[in-house]
Amino acid sequence: MASSKQQKCALAFAAVCCILFGCAIAACGLLFQYHDDYDEDRTNGMGIDGGYEYYYTQYWLGAPLIVLGILILSLLCCKAKPL
């Protein structure tokens, strides 16, 4: 069964959105992780002495979205023969 041009465009749009959303999550996570204000104890108790821990959310949430978007785009671009 052949897919229409509209379906391919929607799939490409979804893949690009996954990539952009994953990059945004990774960028925001890295920005907040390495921001200088969090290194001081006076910032809402989130400093080193305040007990705040980094969970590296940007890696386990942003990276799979980027990989998923790249996988969707690569599968969309390659032409597989129908069975």
Residue 40, pLDDT > 70, answer: no
Burial classification of residue 21, based on how many CB atoms lie within 10 Å of its CB (0-12 exposed, 13-18 middle, 19 or more buried): middle
The amino acid present at 51, given as its one-letter code, is G
pLDDT digits (tens, 9 = 90+) for 48-82: 555 556 667 667 888 999 999 999 999 988 865 55
What one-character DSSP code corresponds to residue 39? Answer: G
pTM beyond cutoff 0.75? no
Burial classification of residue 15, based on how many CB atoms lie within 10 Å of its CB (0-12 exposed, 13-18 middle, 19 or more buried): buried
Question: 75 is written with which tokens?
Answer: 């599968």
